Structure 1
Amino acid sequence: MAQVEHPHESCSPDPVRDLVVTGLVDPVAHDAVVRTGSPRTAAGRPSRTVSPVIDVTPFTLPTEVIARSEQVPVVVLLGSPVDPGMSALRRSLVGRVSPARLRWILATVDADRFPRVVASFRPRSLPTVTVVAGGTGVASWTPEDALGDRGVDCPDWVEATVSTVATRLSGLPEDTVVGSPSQAGDGAGGADTGHDPDPRLRRAADLVGEGRPEAAVALYDRMLEDRPGPDERRTLRRARAAVGVLVRTKNLDRAAVFTALAVAEQELRQGPGQGSRRADHGDLSTLLRAADVLVLADRPDDAVDLLSASLTGSPAGSLSGSLSGAEAGTGAGSTSGRSAGWSAVELGRLRSRLLDLVLLLDEAAPATVRARTRLASSVF
């Protein structure tokens, strides 16, 4: 199973502090927790509308998990939607939370899209289920805990843990509005289709674990050829994009990774008009490699920004256009991709890779919005 590195050395559960460590909560907000002891102060007030099942993003984690857990326990399911074990867990927990009448909330975190959110909980393996109460993770369950004579199934474990911690929480406000479960099929939460997951998903995950990402990509391609539904197709395309990064970076040694990361950092800092040398084919390869390494470093938003700015920005430094000079493909220093120095073939490669990496981000993410605007600008 996938292992998640700790972002720091401490081993005491503290999701609020971990949000600061991973950059998801402002340090000033964290100071409020230190002063008041209240995660709600730092995270902001949770919404009045409460759904029994929610999909978590970096933007909703502080309010709908950390702050909400001051009212009722929040059971956080961490894992990849392409993992059949994750899908099975979600179905079983959805079956338990619905009749619980908001005595607890089920929150799902997509490890493929939001790895830093997952890392803030410091799971030993994936999938993992963590109960959050009073802003703190109080207990965790993994599939290994169901093994042996003393094993306990996850839904039973959740019910027992929730019963233990719920009595010390304030409960939901009287003006709470009950929302519908968040099971919309964008692939983020592993929408329950009522069918068993394709066993090839597990095989693809095994291939990646065996160090054979090329075979996993080929398997994803065959699954896509079967014309799956829109939800499954979206999930497969995102998984294929993520594994494609592993394929392209498989043979990079440590020095090459650090070199590519340095190139990426230079390009991200570069301002418009800092040089005029035409980017050649070799430079494009370097740029694409730098974007892949950013993804490996858990910075897919920066990778998308790096490529999308290169479509419309003026040539800068040794590679491509700047990030700050072409936010929308207009304004000072902004030109079309071709006038920035890319040939038609190079521009096609750049667009193709950008569209691939955009799949790793939320559709509403700022980098996604910028990428769409810049793609349109480079065409028209």
Structure 2
Amino acid sequence: MSTLKDMSAAGCAVWLDFVDRKFLEAGGLDALVAEDGLTGVTSNPSIFEKAMGHGDAYDGTLAAFDKENPGAATIDRYEHLAIQDIKAAAETLRPVYDRLDAKDGYVSLEVSPYIADDTDATIAEAEELWHAVDRPNLMIKIPGTPAGAPAIAATIAKGINVNVTLLFSQESYARVAEAYAMGLEERVKKGEPIDRTASVASFFVSRIDSSIDKAIDQRVKDGDPEAEALKAIRGKVAIANAKLAYQWYLDFIKSDRWQALAAKGAQPQRLLWASTGTKDPAYPDTLYVDTLIGPDTVNTMPPKTMDAFRERGTVANTLTADVDEARHVLAEAERLGLDLNGVTGRLVEEGVASFTTAFDDLLGAIAKKQPAEA
């Protein structure tokens, strides 16, 4: 077995944070499913911008679409390309979805970052994309913003699978986990099944350390009297934050509220570790994979991180290890004034802004390929 298959056997599903036309057509996704036990794919505006905005892989499809739809809006042209890729990935993963009885085998497609703060628009676009792709193993990505939480509940209530993205804090995660439960409860009230409605909560990891470590390094450089205490928690805050989010999950699935849903077949909303590529070269490139392995979780990895873990990753049930140490790390971060709450709030805003910029660039690149007659 590959190391990635071992990780899946330990309860942490392997997903790929990448999608690309050439990769799909060359059988790259099929190979990962067969050889490494891959069970899911995630996409986002940044990934599509890299795939569609550069090279000519999509030019033929775009030209055919433009011929049939003269004068089509740039956003419609993008969605046509994206939906084709998502459908292809969903078809590749459909046997996984069927074999696991809808417990996995999902492909994610994101709503527009332009509507991250608009609940009604998010609900409408989620439904539109769901029907356009028309595959049961699709997940619609909705950001875990304050406006996103009610959109998640409403979307789940419609029987649409949801990948909640841009979660950084334990509080925001708890809010969207409860939104998932609310959506399922609404379905129960209407007498609708809930056993094949799924969700993951994408909890971002490395960006927290990037921000916290930067603050630590500056204070150490400035001769802070707490320099040793600051250095002691460098590179540890993000993992501690994730481990305690998982502890909240373990408590929640024991609750009477969740047990009532589980009795009707509800699937738990798995925590998905995102942003798992290391940003600091001083850290092992498998750091955010090795340390977050545990039951009912997912790790979505960019190709480089997946390759690194396949070669030198270590599989052990690390997610529930050293929980007291994780609490200590976060207590120290608070005592030292590192303002984790402020950092996570800012990272949500920066994440939405980053995806918006990538979407702007993506639409700009597609617009440049507009036929002259249009």
The answer to whether the superposition gives a TM-score over 0.5 is no
Which structure would you say has the larger RCO, counting Cα contacts within 8 Å and 6 or more residues apart? 2
Q: TM-score, normalised by structure 1?
A: 0.26
Higher alpha-carbon Rg: 1
Q: TM-score, normalised by structure 2?
A: 0.27
- More helix as a share of residues: 2
